[in-house]
Structure 1
């Protein structure tokens, strides 16, 4: 079971959209997948059609990790009758954003009761707080999501340093999968400059292909549908990108 964290340290770059795109690719590939919604905004839970259906939520799991709390917080996504489940998000999870380093393994401990999945996707909050660190501590690999803009690029460096700090502390098995660049407009001179900057700074850690800015992604998510099921050439283009990114994640060696 691969546990893949999706994170960013700047809001508004499409972190949850990337999580949902990877979930769509996994569903299309036939991988049994669990999405853990650690973001207090709960956007993944809503987009996956899992609101109001669980007896518990991720906050109750972090309060008291056990097989019972995990089972109570897990609900099937409306995207599929089987094969895609959600550990439901909650506004209450913000209470765990200020945790001591000794408590960072709560989600990892909870996932020890998870079985039968090929892939776990953890949608982390867009911050450096305890929730993000808790999520990454539970991961084998981490994807840092950015967009080709000045402040988003600056946030990548902070995210990569956080991953490195966790590797040397609470999460020695954690490895960066790479940097996913979202909302790319190929005709933008400024974006081309930022993409080159990212390439210079991070080299092979810059994931390919980049994710183009297409309205189809937001349209599919707004309708609580996987992008692979959305009609049109733009959706097909996005689906192919997420297929390739998922393939990269599945091929990455694990300890």
Structure 2
């Protein structure tokens, strides 16, 4: 990966929620798969950069990358000695066509405990001078917390997308992430915006129907004539999601387990978020 004085301008999106198990990583990788797939069908573009901001490293393993001893990872970007533009030395090609990754390991957990006052600025500095012009999007897969890793990603990003399940705590969880976004907007990153709310792992039952309606009542739906934030597209809770992850295979190349429903959902979501053209085939 090269560095350049001319910055490319891909969209930089943070996928966030303070609760685990809501489908953040699956949504991050589903969007990456959709963008790459659309680029392959067009014959141009479609390259994606994923930053794995979670010490669990599920996005890293999900794209087939195994971190070797001594390999640079996202944790190195937070080191006091890290230079501006350090991201260029961390990004590697994944096993997925058109998808690169800045990988993560458990070492990243120490960032949440560090006391350095300037730590939350280091990730943003790691982008300085890095040529991102080859990418259509940069996606940050964040840990299930409202700590320094999420805050750092929000400082470096253009927008945040909250991923949530349709549960009784959905509105509360989204509100807490929204408050964190507003903190970042007030000073470190005034350009940051909340780009959408995605209902993930959606099951067709009374509870999920009620909770999704509750969420839409609180935040509105994108395109409903107001300033709605909840995406029309919902991501169904299907076994193919975990099966594709276990196989380190893009969902758009996975076969079986009703994968086609997820392929359509992630393609529709990518289009709704403006990451690929509307009407792109799944």
TM exceeds 0.5? yes
Q: Between Structure 1 and Structure 2, how many residues are aligned?
A: 249
Give unmatched runs, 5+ long, in structure 2. 1-9, 40-45, 221-227, 277-282
Shift of 1:228: 0.2
Select the residue among 48, 73, 78 that pairs with 1:33.
Answer: 48
Question: SS at 1:93's partner residue?
Answer: helix
Superposed CA RMSD in Å reads: 1.9
Is 2:92 the counterpart of 1:75? yes
**Cα separation, 2, equivalents of 1:185 and 1:172:** 36
Higher helix content, 1 or 2: 1
Is 2:234 the counterpart of 1:210? yes
**Cα separation, 2, equivalents of 1:70 and 1:220:** 28
Is 2:56 the counterpart of 1:56? no
**Cα separation, 2, equivalents of 1:111 and 1:247:** 26
Select the residue among 215, 230, 236 that pairs with 2:254.
Answer: 230
Shift of 1:250: 2.6
Q: Out of 94-103 and 170-179, give the one that drifted further.
A: 94-103
Give unmatched runs, 5+ long, in structure 1. none
Is 2:122 the counterpart of 1:109? no
Is 2:59 the counterpart of 1:44? yes
Is 2:125 the counterpart of 1:118? no
TM score, norm. by length of structure 1 = 0.91
Shift of 1:25: 0.7
**Cα separation, 2, equivalents of 1:193 and 1:68:** 46
Select the residue among 219, 235, 242 that pairs with 2:266.
Answer: 242
Q: Out of 105-114 and 33-42, give the one that drifted further.
A: 105-114
Question: SS at 1:250's partner residue?
Answer: coil
Structure-2 residue corresponding to 1:221 = 245
Shift of 1:251: 6.2
Shift of 1:205: 0.4
**Cα separation, 2, equivalents of 1:22 and 1:75:** 19
Question: SS at 1:122's partner residue?
Answer: strand
Q: Larger Cα Rg: Structure 1 or Structure 2?
A: 2
TM score, norm. by length of structure 2 = 0.83
Question: SS at 2:237's partner residue?
Answer: coil
Select the residue among 145, 151, 156 that pairs with 2:169.
Answer: 151
